[in-house]
Structure 1
Amino acid sequence: MNSRREFLKAMGLVGGGLILELSLSGCTTPLPHGNARDFEPDAWLQITPQNDIRFYLNSVEMGQGTMTGMATLIAEELNTEPYMIEVKSAGVHADYVNPFYGVQVTGGSTSTRIYYDVLRRSAAQAREMLRAAAAAELGVDVALLEVRDKHIIYRDTRLPMGRFVQAAQSLSRPEVSLKSERDFRFIGRPSVRLDGAMKVRGTAQYGIDVQLPDLFTALVKRCPVQGGHIESWSPNGADELPGVKAIVPIANGVAVVAESYWHAQRALQAITVSWAMPALSQRSSEDIRREFEALAASESGRSALSVGDARADIRAAALQHAATYRLPYLAHATMEPMNCTVRLRDDHCEIWVPTQVPSVCAAIAEEVTGLRRHQITVHTTLLGGGFGRRLSVDYALEATQIAKATGLTIKLVFSREDDMQHDYYRPAAHAEIKAGLDEQGRITGWHQKNVNPNILPYAFQEFATAVLPAWLPDGLVRGLANLGPWVYGTLLMDPASTEGAVEFGYDSVSAEVRHVQADPGLRTGYWRSVGHSINAFVVESFMDELAHRAGRDPLQFRLQHLAGNPRLAAVLRQVAEVGRWGAPMEPGSAQGIAAHYSFGSYVAQLVEVSVVEGDIRVHRVTVAIDCGKTINPDIIKAQMEGGVIFGLTAALRGEITLQDGRVQQTN
């Protein structure tokens, strides 16, 4: 069992059946946007008699370009300019469940890979149904009709597609052939981002922008150490301050609801709370470092990869080398503050939230309010950065609890300090690697041991309500959710802990990767590239050390070990050529090169750096990527640029440290 999907399947959490390829057949729940007057061949497309084309996007747009990329797939098969398609956020529905994870989620770089053919086939079927309806009305051979830019063209006549909507509704979905790549009009070519203009003009709606009648701002005073809970509290007159509407305790702290952020913040500062501190309050960063080091020495861990006898091959090698790497906890630090707006009535709960998991937010609201799923509406807004932080739903849970406790329509907002100190952090890690080299400098054995916290126990506690069957009693659902730490501490290994290491890309006679679970109590979460953010750094750093030990050029040493991985070798050669690997450098300057495979893409980078008075300066980064089929090269370029900046921030400025269990960073 080596993937999240396999675990979900084993636990009976992934539903079966598909619409087109990917939706739950037999699900009779109406679509959130359903309209009998419109042509809706499936859950994604809606074409109106007024000739509007609407695409309901079940992935969220958080800056990665999904809105434009996915709409381009629809546009290609409808032979219609992407800007002519109105993209709307899909509601929560079983047809939108991500089949890899079993919930409606955007993450793991899965959207395009999963829906590339699905959305194209959806649009192609709609195209052919409209052509068939038009051919019947016009009394001509369907082969004489062309679909282009929202119109059906017959000779010199252009008729709007909307004219044929009613007739197309009565037709069955046909078997279709997708466009040949040589006929692509949009896929593979640069095009303007569909969300660009609205962001430039300030009309894009993020969660923080939501405004409603009688909307109040909510803030929460949380325990300074994660895992603590309230022993006692006092408003100290905060409830009498101007603008304050309510002060209530919730599971994670004390919430203030007020007319504005300023009013709420002022009241929050007046409240005093006595906290029952968790075990984490006895640990600081240095304690955790020593704990990880001791576990690496005393525990063998669980095997994640075993090919041959790596330890024996290392012992027998002509040269041996070993290294230890330590990586810190990292925060997500999204640009848009964490926020969630909730309006709760007796028979309906409405949520506006920038989230990567709208179905989990709906499930959480169902649990808190006692309402049924059909009584809950989740509006997914644009996300001002996700990076995996918005895969967690703590902010939606707190907002719903506050709305229920007060009866008010509220927008919960995290301050920057709240977010930095109450995140779901990228796990810290301690990695030990040993390798052997023969006389020709070839790797004969590779052994890696990682010590770090798992992520899945925390994720499963939140996701359980959404992925477990709705007929299970609430108490049983909570009980199963709380089994997560035991399951992944005793029975199973979280694959995120070793991903990027088990897909060992270099040639070696033998290889072994092991994992030791360690959880100091600071909650962890999915952070950009997850385990790859740890293991790409560890593996590539060690490859540099091995090259030095073997007396080889780092590029040539890597290529020497990539006979079985030609695509990774190709991006390395490309980046070396474009970035001028080996070119003369100024004194105090140097080049570095690395490559890695993750989520279906092969990437290599060449970096030029200097050290000035102890300060590292990055002057130039050259990137080569092979991601397979390209939908929009401009978006890929933007993704790489953003990834470089994010990576540099993490490496040079991102460390999260603890003192007596409390995160020391606030910004």
Structure 2
Amino acid sequence: MDGEMLRDPNRRLFLQTGAALGGGLMLSFSLSGPGQAAGDGQLNAYVRIGPDGGVTIVSKVPEVGQGIKTSLPMLIAEELDVEWSAVTVEQAIADTKVFGRQVAGGSMATTLEYDGLRRVGATGRALLIGAAAARWGVAAETCATEPGFVIHAASNRRLAYGDLAQAAAALTPPDPKSLTLKDPKAFRIIGKRQQSRDIDAIVTGQPLYGIDTRVPGMLYATFAKAPTFGAKVVSVDLAPARAVAGVKDAFVVEGGTNLQGLMPGVAVVAESWWAARKGRNALEIKWAEHPTSAQSSAGFAARAAELAKAPPHRTLRSDGDVDAAFKGAAKVVKAAYSYPFIAHVNLEPQNCTASFKDGKVEIWAPTQNPEPGRKLVAAALGVAETDVTIHLVRGGGGFGRRLMNDYMVEAAFISKLAGAPVKLVWTREDDIQHDFYRPGGWHNFTGGLDDKGDLVGWRDHFVTFGEGEQFATSAGMNATQFPGRAVANYKLDVSVMPLGAPTGYLRAPGNNAFGFVIQSFTDELAVASKQDPVAFRRKLLGEPRLLGEAGQGDAFDTGRMRGVLDLVAETSGWGRKTAKGTGLGVACHYSHLGYVAVVMEVSVAKGGVLKIHKVWAAVDCGSQIVNPSGAEQQVQGSILDAIGSTLHQAITFENGATMQGSFGDHSPLRMVEAPPVEVHFKLSDNRPTGLGEPAYPPAPAALCNAIFAATGKRIRSLPIGDQLA
């Protein structure tokens, strides 16, 4: 992330006004990027106020269930001073030249947009006040607003926004940085519970998602790819597929070698998706041999064990002298942890509707990151990027999977060859067997404790995937991961092995695994030191201080982490006596600028039957929660997502191919397994940040630590599966 933008996301902010189509005020702003002229008319967001006073706010960030289509417009509406019930929200089209960054990933939207969008609303309000003051012949400073109206208290006059919109559009906007934003104590919209703007359509089953898209003349498509990633088609008889009723065509796609782009395969196009699926099932495809066909999960595990015993390939961080610390320690603790590859398992499988005609492409896609998709499509179809139009459609879950756009380029290419608009829908097997997986990994820990039980040395030999000094996507580890910088003698070593399977970004990339291993081993150290796990963590965090440089994403505030740790201990009743076979587990982790601590209460009955009774979470994501309903749901969803993966999920490979293919063998959390999750927010004097990811990382460790408290059995590898039996 751009450190300067993190410190001041309002830099390079330029506002423009103009008459909206059909009359009224249109307000927009631009954050000029590299090579752009200041105030060049490129828009990031806009507001329309009609003559009737109706307000339309465009939401620029893709919506994949994180609630951003509601929370970002709330920022503008608050400072504009309108009734939230009077606001209509529209989803923006994908266009970075107009809207700037349009990415649903990294939990960064609130961080980057909070102040800028508020100033857009404040500028609109100032223009409306200016128009009213001119009409009344009074000083603007003597006017104020109430929702939807400008008022002049001295003369008891008021004018509706709709009556002022056209006049306001003709005024020169003030410098947005000169405006005084509302005191949070005066907020009427921000900080209040607001339901999702799409909730009525969702609960009544209205066509809303990518998979619901319909366009005139549309056909349906399926696309078969090799079980071994990247293998080409050697031969296929297309006649059986073409003979299926409703099938319009079947053809081979040569594809390329970019695992994120158009891969080799066979497409079947039909009048219905079921006909396309039947046609695909009728095919017998012979796939070419591929170098990755020799890779397997068993082979990875064996190689990881070899690497763990050998000298590391390189050292990412080395502070102090860990060998001397271990030699002088009163107790040395060693433990090996591992976690598997896992898939995203979006409830809505990957899909895209595309129409290629006359050298132009129109796309409807539930993508989290449309611009790389535009580039893929343009390159694959040989068209200009400006000839690719992408409509952002709500996604039925993202979790990082839809940051990749392979399904988009597939749909566009098939449309070109079919000569008609097509909707490509992946099967569940496609979705799981052709994912960009969270990579597996192995951590070999050594910790040293002095005679007081304090941590004096920490070493991790991390075995992961990559080649040379290049990690596979999401397989690397940041050298500033806590307890780095907090322990005087600390060493992070790494060894890598090659990988043929595609990896990508799953909710809280990297941290979703590091939280498990680091906080589980921390718990082991607490037990070995004969200290309470919360007390041990508080001592490890030490006095409130900042580790790292202020304003940077890897800076770690020990005081903020202690704050959420203390809050979750208080709200969960930490330290209370529990029944036999029942235990409390705690974990805390920092990621995506958020500090989260989690406590779980579990019981393990005869036969290893696990029940999670309740979860408590304490979260510090800055000074303001924009939409408490959405924020609470994001924390709850992250934790439940993490519990599901911890209990059940593992992707395994044989002969270079994924062995799992459905919810039956790669299961999300079932409703009957889901515990209540009680969420508490601790506000701090820091910039508001996102919530889609930071609650995930501590949850697996909290669960496994609770199991240890209940049974004395330490879980060091995931998923838990039948380890308790």
* Same-fold call, TM cutoff 0.5: yes
**Is residue 343–residue 403 contact of structure 1 (8 Å, CA) maintained in 2?**
yes
1:368 CA displacement: 2.2
Structure 1 contact 292–430 (Cα < 8 Å) conserved? yes
Shift, 1:265, TM fit? 0.8
Secondary structure of 1:561's aligned partner = helix
Alignment pair present for 1:520 and 2:499? yes
Alignment of structure 1 residues 100-249 onto 2, 5 Å: 104-155=102-153, 156-174=156-174, 175-203=178-206, 205-249=208-252
The 1:118/1:652 distance shift into structure 2, 3 A limit, reads same
- 1:170-199 C-alpha deviation (Å, 9 max, x unpaired): 333313121122222222222233222221
Report the Cα offset of residue 365 of structure 1.
2.0
Query: Which residue number in structure 1 is paired with residue 64 of structure 2?
Result: 62
What are the equivalent positions in structure 2 for 1:542-561 lying under 5 Å apart?
542-561=521-540
Tell me which residue corresponds to 1:591. Answer: 584
Change (3 A) 1:63 1:566: same
- In the TM superposition, what is the alpha-carbon distance from 1:315 to its structure 2 partner? 2.9
Partner Cα separation in structure 1 for residue 479 and residue 590 of structure 2? 8
Q: Which residue matches 1:470?
A: none
Aligned partners of 1:184 and 1:286: how far apart in 2?
57
Instruction: Assess, with a 3 A threshold, how the Cα gap between structure 1 residues 503 and 35 changes in structure 2: closer, same or farther.
Output: farther
For the residues of structure 1 that align with 2:496 and 2:85, how far apart are their CA atoms?
A: 49
CA 1:324–1:549 in structure 2 vs 1: closer, same or farther (change >3 Å)? same
Match for residue 350 of structure 1 among 359, 362, 368 = 362
Note if 1:277 corresponds to 2:277: no
Kept after mapping to 2: 8 A contact 1:236/1:272: no
2:645 is matched with which residue?
650
How far is the alpha carbon of 1:543 from its aligned partner?
Answer: 0.6
* Cα offsets for 1:119-146 (capped at 9, x unmatched): 0011111211221122112222213333
Aligned to 2:48: 47
CA deviation after TM superposition for structure 1 residue 661, in Å:
2.1
Tell me whether 1:538 sits opposite 2:531 in the alignment. Answer: no
Displacement after TM superposition at 1:593 (Å): 0.9
The equivalent position to 2:614 in structure 1, one of 616, 620, 632, is 620
The residue type paired with residue 128 of structure 1 is A
Runs of 4+ residues deviating >6 angstroms: 33-37, 491-496
Please tell me whether the aligned partners of residues 602 and 626 of structure 1 are also in contact (alpha carbons under 8 angstroms): yes
Structure 2: distance between partners of 1:24 and 1:303: 45
Change beyond 3 A, Cα 1:163–1:204: farther
Q: What pairs up with 1:168-567 in 2 under 5 angstroms? A: 168-174=168-174, 175-203=178-206, 205-250=208-253, 251=255, 252-453=264-465, 489-490=468-469, 497-499=476-478, 502-504=481-483, 507-564=486-543, 565-567=558-560
**CA distance in 2 between partners of 1:321 and 1:34 (Å):** 69
Alignment partner of 2:81 out of 79, 82, 86? 79
Q: Which moved more, 1:113-122 or 1:619-628?
A: 619-628
Q: How many Å separate the matches in 2 of 1:185 and 1:201?
A: 29
Asked if the contact 1:302/1:493 (under 8 Å) is kept, the reply is no
Structure-1-length-normalised TM-score: 0.86
What SS does the aligned partner of 2:28 have?
coil
SS in 2 for 1:656: coil
Across the aligned residues of Structure 1 and Structure 2, the Cα RMSD in angstroms comes to 2.7
Distance 2:493 2:201 in 1: 48
Could you say what secondary structure the match of 2:515 adopts?
helix
- Cα distance change, pair 267–603 in 1 and its aligned pair in 2 (3 A): same
Q: Confirm or deny: 8 A CA contact 1:24 1:94 kept in the other structure.
A: no
Greater CA drift, 375-384 or 608-617: 608-617
| DSSP 3-state at the match of 2:541 | coil
Deviation at 1:496, TM superposition (A): 6.2
Q: Taking structure 1 as reference, are residues 146 and 625 closer, same or farther at Cα in structure 2, changes over 3 Å only?
A: same
CA distance in 2, matches of 1:657, 1:22: 48
The structure with the largest helix share of the pair is: 1
Rounded Cα–Cα distance in structure 2 between residues aligned with 1:279 and 1:299: 27
- Calculate the TM-score normalised by the size of structure 2: 0.80
2:46 alignment partner AA: L
For structure 2, the 5+ residue unaligned runs are 30-42, 256-263, 544-557, 663-725
The DSSP-based 3-state class of the residue aligned with 1:64 is coil
Per the TM alignment, residue 537 of structure 1 is displaced from its structure 2 partner at its CA by: 0.6
Q: CA deviation at 1:97?
A: 6.6
Q: Residue 601 of structure 1: CA displacement? A: 1.3
Structure 1: give runs of 5+ residues left out of the alignment. 455-485
Determine the C-alpha separation between the residues in 1 that align with 2:410 and 2:578.
54
Query: Which deviations, in whole Å up to 9, do the C-alpha atoms of 1:479-530 show, x marking residues without a partner?
Result: xxxxxxx7xx446897862149624378422222233333321110100101
CA distance in structure 1 between the partners assigned to 2:479 and 2:211 by the alignment: 35
